[in-house]
Amino acid sequence: MSETVTSPLSRTFHAEEKRLLQECIHCGFCLPACPTYMENGKEMDSPRGRLHLMESLLEGRMNLDSAFEEHMKLCLVCRACETACPSGVQFGHLMEATRQSIAEVKQKGRLERFLLQTVLPSHRWLSFLFTITRVIQILRLDKLSTVPPLSLLVPKKLRQLQLSLPTVPPRRFGRSYDVHYRAIRKQRGTVTLFTGCVMDHLFPHVHTATVRLLTWHGYDVTIPSDQACCGALHAHAGEKSMTSFLADQNISILDNCNSDYIVINSAGCGSHLKSYLTYIDSGISSRVVDLSELLAVIEMKPKAIGPTDPVAYDEPCHLLHGQGISTQPKTILEKIPEINLVPLKGSDRCCGSAGSYSITETEMSLKLLDAKMDDIEASGAAIVVTANPGCQMQLNWGVKRRGINVEVLHLAELLDKCFRIDPSYPTDPLVLD
Partner 1 sequence: MEVKTALIRDLESLLGKERVISHPTELLVYECDGLTLSRHGADAVVLPESTEEVSRIVKCCQGHQVPFLARGSGTGLSGGAVAAEGGVIVQMSRMATIIEIDYDDEVAVVQPGVINLHLSEATRPDGYHYAPDPSSQKACTIGGNVAENAGGPHTLKYGVTANHILGMTVVMPDGEIINMGGRHESILGYDLVGLFVGSEGTLGIVTEIIVKLTRNPESSKTFLASFNTVEAASNSVSSIIAAGIIPAALELIDALVIQAVESHLKAGFPQDVAAILLIEIEGLNATLSAQAGEIRNICHTHGATDFKEAKSEPERAQLWRGRKEAIGALGKVTPAFYTNDGVVPRSKLPEILEFDIETGKRNGLQVAHLCHAGDGNIHPIILYDHENETETKAAMKTSREILQRCIDLGGALSGEHGIGTEKLTSFSFMFNKTDEAQMMAVRSALSPSGKLNPSKIFPTGAKCGESKIRKTVAGGGWL
Sign of the four-CA dihedral 120, 242, 96, 228: negative
Question: In the complex, what is the shortest distance from the CB of residue 66 to partner 1, in angstroms, rounded to a whole number?
Answer: 9
85 vs 198, beta carbon nearer partner 1: 85
Binding partner 1 (rule: CB under 8 A), the pick from 11, 14, 42, 400 is: 42
- Is residue 335 within 8 Å of 375, Cβ to Cβ? no
Residue 379 to residue 345: CA distance in whole angstroms:
7
61 binds partner 1 (CB under 8 A): yes
Nearest to 20 by CA among 97, 101, 94: 94
67 binds partner 1 (CB under 8 A): yes
Give the count of residues interacting with partner 1 (CB under 8 A): 36
84 binds partner 1 (CB under 8 A): yes
- Is residue 352 within 8 Å of 377, Cβ to Cβ? no
43 binds partner 1 (CB under 8 A): yes
Q: Interacting stretch for partner 1, rule CB under 8 A, among 65-73, 183-191, 224-232, 317-325?
A: 65-73
52 binds partner 1 (CB under 8 A): yes
72 binds partner 1 (CB under 8 A): no
Q: How many CB atoms lie within 10 A of CB 83?
A: 17
Binding partner 1 (rule: CB under 8 A), the pick from 24, 247, 277, 412 is: 24
Question: In the complex, what is the shortest distance from the CB of residue 63 to partner 1, in angstroms, rounded to a whole number?
Answer: 8
44 binds partner 1 (CB under 8 A): yes
65 binds partner 1 (CB under 8 A): yes
Question: In the complex, what is the shortest distance from the CB of residue 255 to partner 1, in angstroms, rounded to a whole number?
Answer: 30
- Is residue 202 within 8 Å of 393, Cβ to Cβ? yes
11 vs 42, beta carbon nearer partner 1: 42
171 binds partner 1 (CB under 8 A): no
Nearest to 208 by CA among 420, 423, 382: 420
Question: In the complex, what is the shortest distance from the CB of residue 33 to partner 1, in angstroms, rounded to a whole number?
Answer: 8
Question: In the complex, what is the shortest distance from the CB of residue 264 to partner 1, in angstroms, rounded to a whole number?
Answer: 25
Question: In the complex, what is the shortest distance from the CB of residue 29 to partner 1, in angstroms, rounded to a whole number?
Answer: 5
282 vs 379, beta carbon nearer partner 1: 379
Nearest to 203 by CA among 158, 172, 238, 247: 172
Strand partners, 385: 313, 409
| Phi/psi of residue 205, nearest 5 degrees | -65, -30
161 binds partner 1 (CB under 8 A): no
105 binds partner 1 (CB under 8 A): no
49 binds partner 1 (CB under 8 A): yes
* Residues in contact with partner 1 by the rule CB under 8 A: 1, 22-32, 37, 41-44, 46, 48-49, 52-53, 56, 61-63, 65, 67-68, 71, 84-89
